[in-house]
Amino acid sequence: MQELDPADDLTLLDLLDRVVAKGVIIQGDLTISVANIDLLYITLRVLISSVSRIEDVTGQRFGMRAIGQPDNSEFLSTE
């Protein structure tokens, strides 16, 4: 991946490519309340990454295959 020059414009595609290549975790809490009474509490945890990046980090293979290819899942190891 090439380095960005601050003078260059960053497109949405460039940003998405960097996010998927590196991975990002978004975590947050949202509470909706009326008159100091909590009505709704939402916990948000999102992981955005490519499958190959997760495989590199975890060391596990997820057995993704191309459409039309035979399923060789019995040969894949989950260890």
pLDDT tens digits along 18-27: 888 888 888 9
pLDDT of residue 51: 77
Residues 15/18/24/30 CA torsion (nearest 10 deg): 0
Q: Is the separation of the CB atoms in 10 and 42 below 8 Å?
A: no
pTM, to two decimals: 0.45
Is 28 a residue whose pLDDT tops 90? yes
Regarding predicted confidence, which is higher, 79 or 6? 6
Intra-chain end-to-end CA distance of the chain, in Å:
31
43-73 per-position pLDDT tens digit: 999 888 887 787 777 777 776 555 555 555 5
Q: Considering only CA atoms, which of 28, 4, 33 is closest in space to residue 18?
A: 4
Structural domain spans, the chain: 12-59
